[in-house]
Amino acid sequence: MNVLLFLTFLWTAVSSSGTVISSDRDRPNIIVILADDLGYSDIGCYGSEIKTPNLDKLASEGVRFSQLYNNTRCCPSRAALLTGLYPHQVGIGAMTDTDIPIPEYQGFFREDVKTIADILKEIGYKTFISGKWHVGEKEGHWPKDHGFDQSFALINGASSYFDFKPYRNDLWPLGNEIKVVADNKVVDMNEKDFYATDLYTDKALDILEKHKTDEPFFLYLSYTAPHWPLHALPEDIKKYEGSYDAGWDVIRESRFEKLKALNLIESKTVLSGKNLDTRDWNALNEEERKYEARLMEVYAAMIDRMDQNIGKLIDYLNTKEELDNTVIIFLSDNGGCSAGNLANGKYSHPRLDPKAEPGSPSSFTSYGPSWANVSNTPFREFKSNIHEGGIATPFILWYPKAINSGIISKTPSHIIDVVPTLLDICGVDENEATLNTLEGTSLLPFVTGKETNFERPLYFEHEGNCGVILKDWKAVKNYGKDWELYNLSVDRSETNNLASEMPKKLKKLVIRYNEWARENRVLPYEDVKKAIPYQF
């Protein structure tokens, strides 16, 4: 979509939805909260048994999207979220700092790309980030270089929740150093006593406390929770003791029934089969079951603590009488991660103990494919895949001032839609801000009743995993495998591959995907691997 066409659409949509803003201070504050490696069914209002009362309240007063997609992994999802463009278009076609001399895969934002922070800054917003960055690890590609006035940011992709010391034993090409920056200056947090999820919230509140109230603000609160390693506070873990003793099959079935009752998935949806790596719970001995249940108790505690912190932020805004004039968006960067024990091999380190109690500071593990299959209920596959388990995210849009409460939107949507949606809500017009040639579309008309019928293709690619969705139909493939075809209107869980029955339909979708890939210089994964000086 070219800039002029986008701006024409945007101005028409804003005018028709009645949200034109007359002055800077009338514009709402904006908070985007991003969870990390959170599965589709991992919060209460999306079917989980995990206690998330604050997110549940936002959902009940706002809009839940049943079919909004991310870009299946940390870096590409963040790139799309911050720009309204596909990740290849902004320089992050793979991961960060890949050192590939190709603009689409360089591993940091291209110079001509504007982030949502850049755009909002132009129209009078103060722009803040607290939490994970992971869209450029080298100096010169940090938050302050991309429109953020103030920042407290973990530049890397993951770390311990109790310190920011290096955790990798091998000298990999990106280095062993974990960087935390405050306004682009590296800070040393290693002698501090903290838990990361609390820390990111507290730093965000510190920034907001110093903020001048006569200017609207944009806060990007990017949690690392519940990304590995599984680290949680004892009081949070205690809440979930015994909650997972029944095993992953029972919990997955329970979530599936709740999702149907919540009308987030259709009643005719079939629960996808267990992943091939899912173990037989009943075949585990007592010690194994206790250990596996503990992993999920810690994972649940991490999400619980994140929700507590979201509540802390909401309470602060309420106290400052800013809540009613604030837009809040919540989503995840990808589906649940199938990684298991990490305290060995490339993640081994003298201070990490493979036998440590999960959740403790010296432990370093994830929860494995069996529990990840639960996180992604009712879908197949995991983080990095383009099947629904990898790309479907819970998505909450809260702004009671302009949007009715309790809505569930079933419009197929994409993480690239967040930027144009926010600009729409803010009433940005063509004379105020210079924009990217945005690929995303404002979702506001679909939640205000202005638009009910919309059809456009959504595209995905990551490390050779590919996909395209056009209304009810989805073509998808894993790297090195054949294309598959699904009718999402009756088979959201992708259990009935129609590729052999409907080859013409599949061919049309694959042609569209290939056209998009050529236009955006999406390389075959074999070529990407050859160009990178190390293996992913």
pLDDT at 18: 37
Residue corresponding to tokens 């694959």: 510
Nearest CA among 522, 527, 534 for reference residue 71: 522
Dmax (CA) for the chain in angstroms is 67
Nearest CA among 470, 402, 518 for reference residue 19: 402
Residue 220 pLDDT more than 70? yes
The two three-digit tokens of residue 13, written as one number:
């949509």
User: Which of 5-19, 165-179, 230-244, 343-357 is least confident?
Assistant: 5-19
Q: How confident is the model at residue 351 (pLDDT cuts 50, 70, 90)?
A: low
Known active-site residue 337: no
* 67-114: pLDDT as tens digits: 999 999 999 999 999 999 999 999 999 988 677 888 899 999 999 999
Residue corresponding to tokens 């066409």: 5
* 352-390: pLDDT as tens digits: 777 889 999 988 899 999 999 999 999 999 999 999 999
Q: Which of 88, 134, 141, 227 is catalytic?
A: 134
The two three-digit tokens of residue 167, written as one number:
């955790």
Percent of the chain with pLDDT over 90: 74
Q: Please give the average per-residue pLDDT across 265-282, as a whole number.
A: 91
Half-sphere exposure of 357 (CA within 13 A, CB side): 8
Q: Which fold has domain 29-414?
A: Alkaline Phosphatase, subunit A (3.40.720)
State how beta strands 29-35 and 326-332 pair. parallel
The two three-digit tokens of residue 519, written as one number:
């236009």
Half-sphere exposure of 406 (CA within 13 A, CB side): 1
Q: What is the pTM of this model?
A: 0.93
Q: Which of 45, 74, 337, 426 is catalytic?
A: 74
Q: Please give the average per-residue pLDDT across 492-504, as a whole number.
A: 98
Residue corresponding to tokens 């839940």: 64
* 152-171: pLDDT as tens digits: 999 999 989 998 887 765 54
Q: How confident is the model at residue 470 (pLDDT cuts 50, 70, 90)?
A: very high
Residue 14 pLDDT more than 50? no
Q: How confident is the model at residue 7 (pLDDT cuts 50, 70, 90)?
A: very low
Q: Give me the phi and psi of 248, to 5 degrees please.
A: -70, -30
Nearest CA among 79, 85, 102, 83 for reference residue 516: 85
Residue 212 pLDDT more than 90? no
The two three-digit tokens of residue 473, written as one number:
């139909």
The answer to whether 130 touches 210, Cβ cutoff 8 Å, is no
The two three-digit tokens of residue 159, written as one number:
């770390």
Q: Which of 16-25, 246-255, 405-414 has the highest mean pLDDT?
A: 246-255
pLDDT at 502: 98
How large is the angle between the packed helices 286-319 and 368-375, nearest 10 degrees?
Answer: 40
Residue 172 pLDDT more than 50? no
Q: How confident is the model at residue 410 (pLDDT cuts 50, 70, 90)?
A: very high
Q: How confident is the model at residue 9 (pLDDT cuts 50, 70, 90)?
A: very low
- Residues paired with residue 468 on neighbouring β-strands, in sequence order: 459, 475
* 310-324: pLDDT as tens digits: 999 999 999 999 999
pLDDT at 353: 77
The structural domains of the chain, with segments of one domain joined by +, span 29-414
For the chain, what is the radius of gyration of the CA atoms?
22
> Amino acid identity of 80?
A
State how beta strands 150-154 and 126-132 pair. parallel
Known active-site residue 74: yes
